[in-house]
Structure 1
Amino acid sequence: MDGADAPPTPPGRRWPLRVGVLAVFAAGLGLFFALGGHQALSFETLSTHHETIRAWVTNHQGLAMVAFVAAYVGIVAFSVPGAVWMSIAGGYLFGTALATLLIVTGATAGATGIFLAARFVFGEAWRARVKGSIARLETGFRENAFSSLLVLRLVPLFPFWLVNLVPAFVGVPTRTYVLATALGIIPGAAVYASVGNGLEAVLAAGGRPDLGLIYDPEIFAPLLGLAALALVPTLYKRWKGRAR
């Protein structure tokens, strides 16, 4: 059953669910910062310990892949900083192709988790409060959900966490959300994984990876082109509707 068609949670059970989800979210964030996760997901940590980490990954390839995906799920689900450095580390440890696959898997799973939590625990209450102000947005987004979300994923102009949440409040079907998310983040994941794949040479030269690389014209322009292609079905639908 798709998420859009799932039966609503009975009103009497919603508050405990909301409190529980908020408690888990707050505990996860608190644990992340208490254990120094914000410091671990940094250039300094990667540059200092990259050889040790790579040696461990080489000796425990399967476990390392599972751990990487699990960590990425947590980073995205709890919306903590460091996803870019995690992607770069993945490229360094696993190579561009495999890292891209692992990043997309982890990011999609984490994004889907927070999407479902937002929809089923908070979505109805939030939509009831702002129903009038989002009515047009909801209608437009639902009619062209896949294309709209794919564009938002392809062109990284909005915070990733925001794009995770908004579809939950405007009725995007779960299947559409998962597919558009997985496809839309592939280019960005590949860019940062490729940066990580060349990290050793950058560190040897005493440099630092350019996190703004994705906005360089030779990379950003093709992303805009893909986004434009993704909008073609939406534009055609509107043109066809006006023609009638």
Structure 2
Amino acid sequence: MNKKVIFGAIFLALIVILGVNFGQYLTLENAKAQQAELAVFINDNFALSAAIYFFAYVAATAFSIPGAAVVTLLGAALFGFWTSLFLVSFASTIGATLAFLSSRYLLRDWVQSKFGDKLNAINQGIERDGAFYLFSLRLIPVFPFFLINLLMGLTPLSTLRFYFISQLGMLPGTAVYLNAGTQLAQIDSLSGIVSPSVLLSFALLGLFPVIAKWIMARLKNTSPTSNGNV
């Protein structure tokens, strides 16, 4: 049997096992319940805690485990905005790149059969706008991020270009989401929900895709290729 088929089957089995066994714990309710205990542990073991969080986030992204949003919010609550921004930004991009590579070298046939129709749209976008298309997908979540990781692995896009564009494209959305997470962590009562900082944070979270879409449209209209210049 082809080695790629064997590794692909093992990889898929790991995704299913991890999703079934750990996905149930990655809920907002469980995160809030564990927040106090985790905060104490982090205060006593900051470097170790940051490393554990970082590699856990890489694994969750690489294996497309449901609940990454909750892990992001928990990181903001436990580590604060700037530390969590550093950890999540690099961990999510590294995990996405691992998923990208697994799709390219291990899961090509499975991804093609499951998401072939989506791949056609992405291939057309890559041919038309190149790396700019990936940047727009990262900035404006038209497709789920895990699906972008898998589908991009089937395109001619180089690994380094995928990494750097993903790092840059996901950064603004990550910052907005982490800011919302820091505010959510401060809610101790129902009155906290209507505080100006919380309302502003969640307004930014809701408006970000709209603003990002407008910015991308302006950038595309002002690019040399849109004016017929190469």
Coarse TM-score class (shorter-chain normalised): 0.7 to 0.9
Bigger drift between 82-91 and 219-228 goes to 219-228
- Alignment equivalent of 2:210, drawn from 214, 221, 225: 221
Q: How does 1:152-163 map to 2 (within 5 A)?
A: 152-163=137-148
Cα separation, 2, equivalents of 1:90 and 1:185: 16
Superposed CA offset, 1:127-159 (max 9, x none): 7xx99x978963651463321000000012311
* Structure 1 gaps, min length 5: 1-12
Given the alignment of the two structures, is residue 60 of structure 1 paired with residue 39 of structure 2, yes or no?
no
SS at match of 1:171: coil
Q: Match of 1:170?
A: 155
Cα separation, 1, equivalents of 2:75 and 2:81: 8
* Structure 2 gaps, min length 5: none
SS at match of 1:79: coil
TM-aligned CA deviation for residue 207 of structure 1: 6.9
SS at match of 1:156: coil
Cα separation, 1, equivalents of 2:146 and 2:121: 22
Q: Check 1:40–1:136 CA distance in 2 against 1; reply closer, same or farther (3 A cut).
A: closer
Q: What amino acid maps onto 2:41 in structure 1?
A: W
Q: What amino acid maps onto 2:12 in structure 1?
A: F
Q: Match of 1:114?
A: 99
Q: What amino acid maps onto 2:183 in structure 1?
A: G
Q: Is the 8 A contact 1:150 1:230 kept in 2?
A: no
Given the alignment of the two structures, is residue 25 of structure 1 paired with residue 12 of structure 2, yes or no?
yes
Q: Check 1:230–1:26 CA distance in 2 against 1; reply closer, same or farther (3 A cut).
A: farther
- Alignment equivalent of 1:48, drawn from 20, 29, 33: 33
Q: Which has the higher contact order (CA 8 A, sep 6+)?
A: 1
TM-aligned CA deviation for residue 215 of structure 1: 5.3
- Alignment equivalent of 1:147, drawn from 132, 151, 154: 132
With normalisation by structure 1, the TM-score equals 0.77
With normalisation by structure 2, the TM-score equals 0.82
Given the alignment of the two structures, is residue 240 of structure 1 paired with residue 225 of structure 2, yes or no?
no
Cα separation, 2, equivalents of 1:69 and 1:49: 18
Q: Check 1:144–1:173 CA distance in 2 against 1; reply closer, same or farther (3 A cut).
A: farther
Bigger drift between 99-108 and 39-48 goes to 39-48
Q: Is the 8 A contact 2:88 2:174 kept in 1?
A: yes
Cα separation, 1, equivalents of 2:144 and 2:83: 25
Superposed CA offset, 1:192-220 (max 9, x none): 21122123321344777999756523x33
Cα separation, 2, equivalents of 1:192 and 1:227: 19
Sequence identity percentage: 23
Cα separation, 1, equivalents of 2:124 and 2:42: 47
TM-aligned CA deviation for residue 52 of structure 1: 0.7
SS at match of 1:169: coil
The root-mean-square deviation of aligned C-alpha atoms, in Å, is 3.2
Aligned length in residues: 223
Q: Match of 1:187?
A: 172
Q: Check 1:170–1:101 CA distance in 2 against 1; reply closer, same or farther (3 A cut).
A: same
Q: Is the 8 A contact 1:39 1:45 kept in 2?
A: no
Cα separation, 2, equivalents of 1:162 and 1:135: 13
Q: Is the 8 A contact 1:154 1:187 kept in 2?
A: yes
SS at match of 1:150: helix
Q: Match of 2:60?
A: 75
Q: What amino acid maps onto 1:22 in structure 2?
A: A
